[in-house]
């Protein structure tokens, strides 16, 4: 029995289904991300778990108890909102202590727990400040501390990093993940940022059109996307359209334009139209005369991004993107003719119809 | 150097005229309104203040001599004390009623769904479009001894005789509250719009019951709006003329009607001017005092 179970959870607003049906089992201490574009229903799902939105279908089970109709103040969940939703008229200390006041915690314990969580988010000494006197990053820490102070059974994070600048966001990913692991707190993160989902989660649930289209570890979700949508949403990818000519023991033989490629099918059956996906980082550039070259092409753009180069290569099959690590040498320049190569196992095959 | 404030990189001859034109522009733009303001408000006010220091004689009228006797009279006579105290009490009662009625009204309004919200906002603010005199006469009809309210009360057997409401303080306060409640609604509405609804959700997630959410989270954030609304309502109530004159009558004098009577009935203009000036001073003192207090109390929380 998992700790938190969403069982066929759905929400309809009149005719419009914001969330179709979400089923997800989360273990105690697990960090799960709901990842998807805006409008995919991820925030509505979180709001249903928090109790702010009443589901039209399905159940929510927490530790075996049905909490589907429980009021939010009874659920004991810590929530970090996108806007932080701090109490502007209260000091940091009172913001963090608010949940404890509602629980009639003794004065001594309140002080101790406020100090403890402020220390955890490294805000010690700022408890007399008002939210407006803090920076964006500090406000976010207050919001996290406030949610943690009540020692919630579940921590819900609603796009908590989207108002931070990139550098701060990366630091917060690491820090928040460390806190979550230390406390062993069951956490659901809602985000549209795939990097955020991948760096922090134990498991990612990719959402699209009010459904979960794939769940898995960040590595599996990235390496083995099960749908065209998941493949395009998680990271960058090169998509090639082809037709299956033959299924071997291990590989599908796919005709793509004028070339024929062998792709490992992993035991699944394919026929007719398929899509092939190759991640830019699995694309290698070699001498154009080499026999190993899968394709021939001409470099159209070459962008330097610090730790890697991003190249676009014009090939007979369309534009192929390649991401080359910066090893201190200059890659082929714009206008150069190159050979494009990828190994067979770099290619992911999906049926054309596997949308959603 | 007149140009010392202009940036040194700019050409030396050009910036002067542009800077001058730029600094003149606000004055030119504000000019017409400023002239109107001076001509129609400041000058009469100044003349009133000057008038209040003139003497008055029953047979000779206004005497162009300087005297403080008007102020001595108003400030030492129990009759005027009563009028000013009555004015303050009335304004305070109206302010309290406007808070009690206006704040929940605004909160309910803010929670309404899309078409109803605009409709009820218009219903609430609509009376501002009607003349105060007309509205007050309407109240006189409703509250009169043979008015709708008393007829209804008697028909229902709640009272045996008409409740006297017209020409009483109760009637004046009812009328003024109706006139002024929209100002409270507007002030609270403005604050309410700035409230982040997620903050209420945050409070609930932390274990606060709906009432605790309202008392500890929503209300404190509304307080600046309630206070600024109260200042507006208090100032308007204290200086109100039409409603106290029509619903209160000649006997139940407040500062504004007392000043009017001195001007037009006794023809003692200097004394009327004195009452007007003292009302203005009292009003300004109370408003500035409250404003200062609010700013000091809430600056740390709400600015920026």
**What does the pLDDT look like over B26-59, one tens digit per residue?**
888 988 988 998 888 889 899 989 999 988 887 7
Contact B202 A89 (CB under 8 A): no
Contact A83 B212 (CB under 8 A): no
Checking if the pLDDT of A313 tops 60, the result is yes
Cβ atoms < 10 Å from Cβ of A45: 28
Residue B214: its chain A contacts at CB < 8 A?
none
Chain A residues bordering chain B (beta-carbon distance below 8 Å): 50-52, 71-73, 75-79, 81-83, 85-89, 98-99, 102-103, 130, 132-133, 146-147, 150
Beta-sheet strand order (sheet of A347-351): A259-264, A251-256, A238-247, A273-278, A347-351
Q: DSSP letters along chain B, please?
A: -TTTTS-TTS-SSHHHHHHHHHHHHHHHHHHHHHHHHIIIIIHHHHHHHHHTTSEEETTTEEE-----HHHHHHHH-HHHHHHHHHHHHHHHHHHHHHHHHHHHHHHHHHHS-HHHHHHHHHHHHGGGGS-HHHHHHHHHHHHSTTSHHHHHHHHTTS-SS----TTSHHHHHHHHHHHHHHHHHHHHHHHHHT--HHHHHHHHHTT--HHHHIIIIIHHHHHHHHHHHHHHHHHHHHT--HHIIIIITTTS--HHHHHHHHHHTS--HHHHHHHHHHHHHHHHHHHHHHHHHHHHHHHHHH--
For β-strands A295-304 and A347-351, DSSP reports them as: unpaired
- Please report, rounded to a whole number, the percentage of residues in chain B having pLDDT higher than 90: 30
Contact B217 A87 (CB under 8 A): yes
ipTM above 0.85, yes or no: no
**Quick one: pLDDT at residue B9?**
45
**What does the pLDDT look like over A18-37, one tens digit per residue?**
999 999 999 999 999 999 99
Q: A314 with A300: CB under 8 angstroms?
A: yes
**CA distance linking residue B298 with residue A43, whole number of Å:** 34
Q: Which residues contact A84 (CB under 8 A, 6 or more apart)?
A: A131, A139, A140, A142, A143, A163
Of the candidates B199, B220, B302, which has its C-beta nearest A85's C-beta? B199
Band the pLDDT of B299: cuts 50, 70, 90. Answer: low
- Closest residue by Cα to residue A204 from A28, A35, A355: A35
Band the pLDDT of A65: cuts 50, 70, 90. Answer: very high
Closest approach of B198 to chain A, Cα-based (Å): 6
- Environment class of residue A354 by beta-carbon count within 10 Å: exposed (0-12), middle (13-18) or buried (19+)? middle
**CA distance linking residue A240 with residue A238, whole number of Å:** 7
**CA distance linking residue A197 with residue A206, whole number of Å:** 10
**CA distance linking residue A94 with residue A99, whole number of Å:** 9
**CA distance linking residue B55 with residue A257, whole number of Å:** 108
pTM above 0.80, yes or no: no
Contact A71 B204 (CB under 8 A): yes
Q: What residues does A278 pair with on adjacent strands?
A: A238, A347
Of the candidates B198, B207, B304, which has its C-beta nearest A103's C-beta? B207
Band the pLDDT of B3: cuts 50, 70, 90. Answer: very low
Checking if the pLDDT of A202 tops 90, the result is yes
Mean of the per-residue pLDDT values for chain A?
Answer: 90
Contact A102 B212 (CB under 8 A): yes
- Cα radius of gyration rounded to whole Å, chain B: 25
Residue A94: its chain B contacts at CB < 8 A?
none
Q: A7 with A24: CB under 8 angstroms?
A: no
For β-strands A238-247 and A251-256, DSSP reports them as: antiparallel
Contact A87 B300 (CB under 8 A): no
Q: A258 with A293: CB under 8 angstroms?
A: no
**What does the pLDDT look like over A69-100, one tens digit per residue?**
999 999 999 999 999 999 998 999 999 999 99
- The residue of chain A nearest to residue B217, with distances taken between CA atoms, is A87
Residue B212: its chain A contacts at CB < 8 A?
102
**CA distance linking residue A196 with residue A234, whole number of Å:** 11
Residue A135: its chain B contacts at CB < 8 A?
none
- Closest residue by Cα to residue B125 from B41, B53, B183: B183
Q: Phi and psi for A154 in degrees, rounded to 5?
A: -135, 140
**CA distance linking residue A197 with residue A202, whole number of Å:** 9
């Amino acid at each position: 029995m998992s700790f938190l179970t969403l069982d066929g959870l759905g929400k309809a607003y009149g005719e419009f289904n914001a969330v179709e049906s979400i089923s997800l089992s989360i273990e105690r201490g697990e960090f799960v991300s709901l990842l998807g574009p805006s409008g995919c229903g991820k925030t509505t799902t979180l709001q249903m778990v928090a109790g702010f939105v009443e589901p039209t279908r399905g159940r929510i089970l927490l530790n075996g108890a049905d909490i589907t109709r429980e009021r939010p103040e009874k659920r004991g969940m810590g929530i970090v909102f996108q806007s932080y939703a701090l109490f502007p008229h209260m000091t940091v200390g009172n913001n963090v202590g608010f949940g404890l006041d509602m629980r009639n915690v003794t004065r001594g314990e309140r002080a101790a727990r406020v100090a403890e969580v402020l220390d955890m988010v490294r805000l010690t000494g700022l408890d007399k400040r008002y939210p407006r006197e803090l920076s964006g990053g500090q406000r976010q820490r207050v919001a996290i501390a406030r949610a943690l102070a009540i020692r919630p059974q579940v921590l819900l994070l609603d796009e908590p990093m989207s108002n931070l600048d990139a550098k701060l966001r990366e630091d917060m990913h690491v820090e928040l993940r460390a806190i979550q692991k230390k406390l062993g707190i069951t956490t659901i993160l809602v985000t549209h940022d795939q990097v955020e989902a991948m760096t922090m989660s134990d498991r990612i649930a990719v959402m699209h059109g009010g459904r979960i289209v794939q769940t898995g570890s960040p590595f599996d979700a990235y390496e083995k996307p099960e749908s065209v949508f998941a493949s395009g949403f998680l990271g960058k990818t090169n998509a090639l359209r082809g037709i299956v000519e033959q299924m071997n023991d291990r590989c599908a033989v796919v005709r793509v334009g004028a070339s024929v490629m062998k792709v490992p099918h992993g035991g699944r059956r394919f026929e007719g139209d398929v899509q092939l996906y190759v991640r830019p980082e699995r694309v290698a550039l070699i001498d154009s005369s080499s026999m190993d070259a899968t394709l021939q092409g001409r470099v159209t753009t070459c962008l330097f991004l610090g730790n890697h180069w991003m190249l676009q290569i014009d090939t007979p099959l369309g534009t192929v993107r390649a991401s080359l690590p910066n090893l201190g040498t200059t890659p082929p320049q714009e206008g150069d003719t190159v050979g494009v190569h990828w190994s067979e196992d770099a290619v992911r095959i999906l049926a054309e119809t596997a949308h959603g | 150097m007149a140009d010392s404030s202009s940036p040194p990189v700019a050409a030396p001859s050009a910036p002067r005229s542009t800077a001058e034109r730029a600094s003149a522009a606000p004055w030119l733009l504000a000019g017409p309104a400023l002239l109107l303001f001076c001509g129609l408000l400041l000058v009469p006010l100044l003349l009133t203040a000057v008038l209040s220091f003139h003497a008055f004689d029953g047979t000779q009228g206004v005497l162009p001599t300087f005297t403080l006797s008007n102020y001595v009279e108003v400030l030492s006579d129990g009759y005027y004390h009563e009028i000013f105290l009555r004015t303050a009490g009335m304004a305070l009662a109206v302010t309290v009623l406007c808070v009690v009625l206006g704040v929940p009204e605004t909160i309910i309004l803010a929670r309404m769904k899309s078409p109803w919200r605009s409709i009820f906002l218009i219903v609430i603010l609509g009376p501002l479009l009607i003349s105060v005199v007309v509205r007050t006469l309407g109240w006189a009809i409703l509250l009169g001894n043979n008015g709708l309210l008393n007829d209804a009360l008697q028909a229902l057997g709640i009272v045996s005789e008409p409740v006297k409401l017209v020409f009483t303080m109760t009637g004046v306060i009812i009328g003024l509250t109706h006139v002024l409640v929209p100002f409270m609604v507007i002030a609270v509405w403005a604050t309410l719009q700035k409230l982040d609804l997620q903050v209420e959700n945050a409070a609930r997630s932390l274990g606060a019951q709906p009432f605790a959410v309202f008392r500890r989270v929503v209300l404190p954030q509304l307080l600046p709006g309630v206070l600024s609304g109260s200042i507006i309502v208090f100032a308007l109530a204290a200086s109100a003329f039409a409603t106290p004159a029509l619903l209160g009558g000649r006997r139940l004098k407040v500062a504004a009607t007392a000043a009017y009577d001195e001007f037009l009935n006794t023809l003692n203009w200097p004394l009327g001017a004195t009452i007007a000036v003292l009302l203005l001073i009292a009003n300004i003192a109370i408003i500035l005092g409250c404003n200062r207090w609010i700013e000091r109390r809430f600056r740390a929380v709400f600015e920026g």
